[in-house]
Structure 1
Amino acid sequence: MFEAVRNNKRIAQVILALISVTFAFFGIESYLNNNGAAGEVATVGGTPISAYEFEQAVREQQDRIRASNEGQVDPATFQDPLFRRAVLDNLVNQRLLSLFASEHRLSVSDEQLRQTIAGIPAFQEDGQFSNARYQAALRGQGMNDLSFQERLRGELAYQQVLSAMGEAAMVPKAAVSRVLSAQLEERTVHMVRFEPETYLKSLEISPEAAKAYYEANIESYAVPARVKLSYLVLSADTLKSKVTVSDDELRAEYEQTKLNLGSPEERKARHILVQVAADASEADVAAARKKAEALLAEIKTDGARFEAIAKTASDDPGSSANGGDLGFFGRGAMLKPFEDAAFALAAGEVSELVRSDFGFHIIRVDDIRKATIPSFEEARGQLEATLRERAASRRFAESAEQFANLVYEQPDSLEPAANQFGLEIRSTEDWIEKGVTTVAGFESPALAEAVFSQSAIASKHNTDAIDIGNNTIVAARVTSHEPAQRRSFDEVKAEVESQLRQQQAAEAAAKAGADQLAALTKGEKADLTWGDPIKLQRGLPMLPPNAMTSVFAVASDSLPAYTGVSVPGAGYALFRVDAVKKVTIDDKDPRLETMTDQYAQLMGAQDLRAFLSALRERYAVKINAAALATDSNG
C-alpha cells in the first residue's frame, strides 16, 4: 500500500499539469461582470476567489517563472493583463474542479495525504522524506503545516477527477496504425535548385528603380539614435559585501536552527501487511487478526524467514516483492500507529501486531540513522552566508526607496547616490541603439526606454531608479548621444542597388523554377542536372516544412512526379519524386503503443478543455472586472 500510493503520484503529476488552461481556450468576456464584492476578484458557483488569494497566486507564478529563467525576467511581463488573466483563469479552473469533486463526495484520506507529502522530491534528501526540508520549504512559502495540507488535500481531491478523465481517453488502434504508417512512408526524390546568383549578372538596375526602392524602404536606411551611459547598480548582492555578521549573531542563529541543519532520525524497516479496512466488520477484523497472529508466530519461530513470508503473504503490493522493504523514513512519513511502533524498536527487533487504517502490520527495523546535528564550527560558513544574504536583502529593501529618491532629487549627477551607498559608477563602452531592450547587460525594456527619454537626453538628467527584478535597481545617465540620422540616397546608392539586384534575382529564379515545373507537369522534356537521390521520411523532416509538405502531397500513382517550392530570398527548389515506399504496420509493432499513449494524452487534454467548458456552464463564473483592474494598477 505504501509504495503503491507513492508510485501512482507520477501519473497524477502528469495529469495535474493539465489544470492550467488559459484564455487561449476559454474567452473571459462571456462571464465578465463589473459587479461584486470589493474583496472578490471572481465567484465560481457562488464561492468567492478573494483578492488576497488571487495576488498570492500571482506571486507564486512570478516566483516559478523567475526560478525557471534564473531571475532574468522583465518585471513588465508580470503587469501584462494577459498574464494576470491567465493566473485568474487557472484559479477558476481549480475551483471548478474542486466544486465538482465536493459535489461527488471525492475525499482524500489522511494516509493518502501523508504518502503524497513524503513522495514530493522537494521534501526529500537522498531519496527519503526529510522533515527538515519539508518545514524549511513551507517557511520559504510563508505557509504552515495546516494551510499546506488543506491546500494539497483539495488538489488531490480534484486530481481524482483528472485521473478518471485521463484514463478514459480511448484511441482506436486502426487510426494510430494509419498515422504511423503515413509517418514512416519513404519517398526518394531528386532536387535541382534555381539559385538567384545565376541571374545576377544579367540584371541591370536603373537609377529610377533604385531611387524608388530607396523611397519605399527609406526607414531601413536610417541610423537609429544611440547613447553611451554611466550607471549605478543597487542590489542585494552589491550590499552583501558591506554586511558584517557578529559571532553572537551566528551563535544565536545556530541555536535557533541547529535542528534543521542536520538530519532527523530515520528508520529502515520492513513490514508484512494483513489488509482489513478501517470500517470492516468485527468478523473480518477477527479473521485478519488471526491470520496476522499466525504469521507473527511463524516469524518468532524463525526470524530469518521474515522477507520470504513478506513476499508470499503480505497484502502490500508495493513492498511485498522486495520482502516488505520500505526503505528509510523519518517521522511524519507513515501513519502514526505504524510510526510509533517503528521508532520504538531497536535495530533487528520485530514488533507485535500494529493496527492501522490499512490493517495489521508486523514491522521489523533493519537499520537506524541517528539524528545528526553539525557543530557550530561546521555550520559557521552556512550560517554566515544565510545571515549575510538575509541582512543584504533587508538592507536592500530599506535602501531602495532612499536610492530612488536620491537619484531623482539630485538629477545632475550619480555621485551623491554612489557616495551614499558605496557604489561604483560604471560606464558602457559600446553605443546603445534605440530600440534594443538590453542595456549594460540588463534585459529591461523599461530601462531602455528611460535612457532615450526627453529628460535623459535633452535635460541630461539621471533616469529614475528602474527595477529590473531579482532585487536589483539601476539608475543611468547619458554621457554621449547621437540623434537618429537618415542617410541620403547618394550615401546608400550602392547598398540599395545590391539589395534590389538580389531581390530581382531571387524573383527571376523563382519564376524560372515555376515555369520549369509547369512544363514538366505537362510532360515536356527538360534539360536539367538533377542532384543525388534523397530519401525522405514524413516523420523525420530533412527539408523545410513547406518542401516536406509539397513532396508528400504529390500523388504517387504515376511516377516520376514533380513539385516545387519557392525559397524566400533564395530562389526555387524543384523536386522529382521517383519512388514511394509505403509501410504496413503489424498489430504487434511496439511503436503503436508509444504513439497510442501520445495520442491519448492529446485527447485527454482536449477532453479536459471540453469538461472545464461544461463546468463553467454548470457553476456560474463571474469576474469582478473592477476589482481585477484595481489590483492590476495597485
Structure 2
Amino acid sequence: MLEKIREGSQGVIAKSILVLVILSFAFAGVSSYLGSSTDEPAATVNGEAITKNQLEQAYQSERSRLQQQLGEMFDSLAANDSYLQSIKQAVLERLIAEKLLDQAANKLGLRISDSQIRDAILQEQAFQTDGKFDDARFNAIMMQLGYSKPAFIEMMRVDMTRNQLVSGMVGSEFVLPSEAKSLAQLQNQTRDIQYLMVNTEPFLADVKVTDAEAKAYYENHLGEYVRPEMISLNYVDLNSAELAQNIKVTDAEVEAYYNEHKSSYQTAEKRLAAHILIDFGGDKAKAKEKAEAIYKQLEGGANFATLAKKDSNDQFSAEKGGELDWFEPGVMDPSFDKALFSLKKGQFSQVVETPYGYHIIKLLDVQPGTTAPLAEVKDKIVAQIKQQKADNEFYGLQQKLTDSSYEVPDTLSESAIELNTKVQTTPLFSRNNAPAPFNAPAIMKAAFSAQVLANGENSDVLEIAPNHVVVIRINQHKPAGTMTFDEVKAQVVATLKQQKANELARAKAAEDMKQIKAGTSVDGLTAKTEVSRTAQDVAAGIINKAFQMPAPTKGAVVDTVSLPQGYAVVVLDKVNTVSDVDENTVKSLEQRLTSQLAQADYTAVVAALRAKAEIAYPAAEQAAEEAQEAQQNNTAE
C-alpha cells in the first residue's frame, strides 16, 4: 500500500495517489474496514463475508485499469457480457484469496504494533518534505483520499500483516549462482544440425477421397462443424452526410454566405522583418544600454544590415543583415508583433523587449492581404451550406426516429415512413464476422441483447459516428447448431486430403531418416552450424526438435518432426557448450527464478488454504435458484 502511495507522490498527488491507493485497497478487499455493511454477500470465506459492494468497487477498479491498458480494444471486448463476467469472477477470486491470507495471518497470531505503523508512516517518502515527515502533507493526502486517520491506520495494519505472512512464505526462496549459471549455459548453447524438409503439397494431387470416407469423417467429428449463432438485422439508417447529397444550394445563398464569411477567405497581410538582437546575457541593464547605443547609430544614418552583421546575437539572421522571414499578425511575440506591424516599409523600431532580449526591428517589405474570389471558393461554400442544412435536418429527423421506433417497437416501417426512407436488411452474420458498421461494439451488444434478440423489439437509437445513427431490430435468428454434411462437404474433403497427404509425407520422412541412419546420401539436406534457440532462419519446429534431441555420442542423432507444412528430418551433429556466461545474465536469471519460485509458493499456499476453507457464493446460488424457478414456471405455463 505504501509503495503505491510512494509511486503516486512522484506525480500529481491529488490524482495519482488517489487512483493507485484505491486500486490497492480495492484488490486487497480492505473496504470492509471502513465500516460495517448490511450488503448481501457475494461470497463467504469461513463465515466471513465479501459483500457485493466490495466486489463491485474492486471490479470497477479492475475495469478502469484494463480500459487504460487496452484502450479501444477494451471497448470491443466489453461488448461481450461473458468477458466482463469473467473479469468480475476473477476479481472475486482474488478477494477470496486475500481474505484467506488475512484469516491465516490471524490464526498464526501475526500482529503489527502501533509503533511499527507509526514508523512506517514517518519513514514513508510520500508523507515527507525535504526528507522529513510533514504532518500537514500527511493530513492533506488523507483529506484527498477521503480517509480518516483511524481508518487509514487500520488499513495499514491489515496490509502490513498480510505482507508479513506473504514475506514469510516466499521470502525464503533462493537460487544458487551455480543453478543460474547452468541455466544460462543451457540457454546460450548452440547446435550443429542438418535438416530435410518434406512438404505435403506435392502429395495432394495423388490422394483421393470417396464420399463414404467424407461422410464417415463428418459423422465422427460433428463437434468440429458447429454453426455459430447467426442473426440478420433490419435497420433504418440516418446519416447527415447522405442527407447533404440531396440538398440544393442556390447561387444567391452562396453569395450571401460568401459576403457574411468573407474574412474566412482572406489571406492575412505578411511582413518581411529584420532585426538586431541583443540578448540579456548576465546583465540585463548592460544589454539594454548596448541596444540603445545601436539605435542611436541607426538614427545617425548607420547601415542596419552592417550593424546586424556586426552586433546582433542572432547569428543566423546576422549573416543575412538581420533578415528573418515573412510573418503574419500574431505569429511572433506580442511586443515584437506590435512593433513590426506599426512600421512603414524601410522604417526601424525603437528598442523592443521580448523574453529573448532587446530587439531593433526593421520592416523590409510588405505583402498586402488578399481576398479569394467567389469563383475560387464556391465549391467549398456549397459543401459547407449543404452540410449545415443537412445537420439541421438530421437533428429533426433523429427526434422523429427516436419517437417512432420507441412508440411502435415491433416494426421499423413507421420509422422508415417518418424518415422517407426504406427499411434495410443485413445478411446473416455471427458475433465474429459482423459487417461494418454493425461490428461496432455498441451495435453488436444491442443486436444480441434481450431487448432486440429475445423480445423482438426495436433497439434504442445507436450512434455509428457523429451525425450518423441507426435503429435495428431482429430479422432472422439461427441458433447455434451442427451444419449439414452438404454444407461442409468441401471442407471435409479438403481435410481428409490434407491428412492423407500428411501420411505420405510422414512416410517419406521416415524413409529418408532410415537412409540417413544407414549412411546413405540423401539429396536436399541443409546444414546449419551453431544454431541458437532463437534462430530466425530455421523453422521453429526444427529448432525445438533439435534442442530436444540428446547429445550425440557415437555419430549423429536423427529424428523427424511434424511441421505445419509437412515433416522434416532433423540431424543433430554436435552440441556446442558455453563455459563463460555474462555475470549480469546470471544475476538476472537468479532474480527471475527466485520470483518464479516465490510465485509458485504463493499460489500453492492459497490453494492449500482454499482446500481447507468453506467458501460459498450466496449471490450466484440465489441467481441459479431464480433461473431454475423461472424455467419451471415457464414449463408450467
Over 3 Å counting, the alpha-carbon distance change for 1:215 and 1:451 in structure 2 is: farther
Q: How far did 1:98 drift?
A: 3.5
Amino acid at match of 2:604: A
1:112 aligns with 2:116: no
Determine the structure 1 residue equivalent to 2:599: 605
Over 3 Å counting, the alpha-carbon distance change for 1:410 and 1:503 in structure 2 is: same
TM-score by length of 2: 0.51
TM-score by length of 1: 0.51
Task: Supply the distance in 2 between the matched residues of 1:411 and 1:443 (Cα, whole angstroms).
Answer: 24
Q: Deviations over 1:9-61 (max 9, x none)?
A: 99xx9xx99x989xxxxxxxxxxxxxxx9844445566443343233333333
Determine the structure 1 residue equivalent to 2:336: none
Determine the structure 2 residue equivalent to 1:411: 410
Q: 1:116-195 to 2 correspondence within 5 Å?
A: 118=126, 138=145, 150-151=154-155, 154-195=158-199
Over 3 Å counting, the alpha-carbon distance change for 1:494 and 1:100 in structure 2 is: closer
Over 3 Å counting, the alpha-carbon distance change for 1:43 and 1:214 in structure 2 is: closer
Q: How far did 1:513 drift?
A: 0.8
**Contact 1:185/1:583 (8 A) holds in 2:** yes
Task: Supply the distance in 2 between the matched residues of 1:174 and 1:501 (Cα, whole angstroms).
Answer: 52
The Cα RMSD (Å) is 5.7
Unaligned runs of 5+ in 2: 11-19, 29-37, 129-135, 239-401, 628-637
**Contact 2:207/2:497 (8 A) holds in 1:** yes
Q: Deviations over 1:440-480 (max 9, x none)?
A: 13347754545998768xxx752589999xxxx99622569
Over 3 Å counting, the alpha-carbon distance change for 1:98 and 1:213 in structure 2 is: closer
1:622 aligns with 2:614: yes
Task: Supply the distance in 1 between the matched residues of 2:463 and 2:138 (Cα, whole angstroms).
Answer: 36
**Contact 1:188/1:533 (8 A) holds in 2:** yes
Q: 1:515-554 to 2 correspondence within 5 Å?
A: 515-521=511-517, 523-533=518-528, 535-538=530-533, 546-554=541-549
**Contact 2:236/2:470 (8 A) holds in 1:** yes
Selected match of 1:506 from 479, 491, 502: 502
Task: Supply the distance in 2 between the matched residues of 1:476 and 1:92 (Cα, whole angstroms).
Answer: 42
Percent identical residues: 20
Determine the structure 1 residue equivalent to 2:57: 56
**Contact 1:96/1:615 (8 A) holds in 2:** yes
Q: How far did 1:594 drift?
A: 0.6
What is the number of equivalent residue pairs in this alignment?
Answer: 416
**Contact 1:434/1:448 (8 A) holds in 2:** no
Q: How far did 1:194 drift?
A: 0.8
Q: Deviations over 1:208-250 (max 9, x none)?
A: 65676788789969999663542689xxxxxxxxxxxxxxxxx
Q: Deviations over 1:377-426 (max 9, x none)?
A: xxxxxxxxxxxxxxxxxxxxxxxxxx89964862212876999xxx9999
Q: 1:296-315 to 2 correspondence within 5 Å?
A: none
Determine the structure 2 residue equivalent to 1:591: 585
Determine the structure 1 residue equivalent to 2:568: 573
Over 3 Å counting, the alpha-carbon distance change for 1:145 and 1:406 in structure 2 is: farther
Q: Deviations over 1:471-506 (max 9, x none)?
A: xx99622569999998996x9988876665444323
Task: Supply the distance in 1 between the matched residues of 2:187 and 2:561 (Cα, whole angstroms).
Answer: 21
Task: Supply the distance in 1 between the matched residues of 2:451 and 2:505 (Cα, whole angstroms).
Answer: 44
Q: 1:315-330 to 2 correspondence within 5 Å?
A: none
Over 3 Å counting, the alpha-carbon distance change for 1:110 and 1:543 in structure 2 is: farther
Q: Deviations over 1:283-309 (max 9, x none)?
A: xxxxxxxxxxxxxxxxxxxxxxxxxxx
Selected match of 2:429 from 424, 430, 433: 433
Q: How far did 1:185 drift?
A: 1.4
Task: Supply the distance in 2 between the matched residues of 1:166 and 1:186 (Cα, whole angstroms).
Answer: 34
Q: How far did 1:511 drift?
A: 1.9
Task: Supply the distance in 2 between the matched residues of 1:443 and 1:424 (Cα, whole angstroms).
Answer: 28
**Contact 2:416/2:422 (8 A) holds in 1:** no
Determine the structure 2 residue equivalent to 1:315: none
Selected match of 1:74 from 72, 79, 83: 79
**Contact 2:452/2:474 (8 A) holds in 1:** no
Q: How far did 1:593 drift?
A: 0.7
Task: Supply the distance in 1 between the matched residues of 2:216 and 2:153 (Cα, whole angstroms).
Answer: 70
Amino acid at match of 1:622: E
**Contact 2:404/2:415 (8 A) holds in 1:** no
Task: Supply the distance in 1 between the matched residues of 2:422 and 2:102 (Cα, whole angstroms).
Answer: 53
Q: Deviations over 1:546-584 (max 9, x none)?
A: 53342123222133221211224x221111222210122
Task: Supply the distance in 2 between the matched residues of 1:467 and 1:146 (Cα, whole angstroms).
Answer: 48
Task: Supply the distance in 2 between the matched residues of 1:410 and 1:208 (Cα, whole angstroms).
Answer: 51
Q: Which has the larger radius of gyration?
A: 2
Task: Supply the distance in 1 between the matched residues of 2:492 and 2:229 (Cα, whole angstroms).
Answer: 18
Amino acid at match of 1:183: Q
SS of corresponding position for 2:411: coil
Task: Supply the distance in 2 between the matched residues of 1:414 and 1:148 (Cα, whole angstroms).
Answer: 60
**Contact 1:187/1:580 (8 A) holds in 2:** yes
**Contact 1:407/1:414 (8 A) holds in 2:** no
Task: Supply the distance in 1 between the matched residues of 2:175 and 2:104 (Cα, whole angstroms).
Answer: 26
Task: Supply the distance in 2 between the matched residues of 1:67 and 1:8 (Cα, whole angstroms).
Answer: 16
SS of corresponding position for 2:432: coil
Amino acid at match of 1:601: S
Q: How far did 1:181 drift?
A: 1.7
**Contact 2:189/2:532 (8 A) holds in 1:** yes
Determine the structure 2 residue equivalent to 1:371: none
SS of corresponding position for 2:473: strand
Over 3 Å counting, the alpha-carbon distance change for 1:415 and 1:548 in structure 2 is: farther
1:196 aligns with 2:200: yes
Amino acid at match of 1:95: K
**Contact 2:169/2:601 (8 A) holds in 1:** yes
SS of corresponding position for 1:579: strand
Amino acid at match of 1:86: A
Q: How far did 1:512 drift?
A: 1.0
Q: How far did 1:182 drift?
A: 1.6
1:442 aligns with 2:448: no
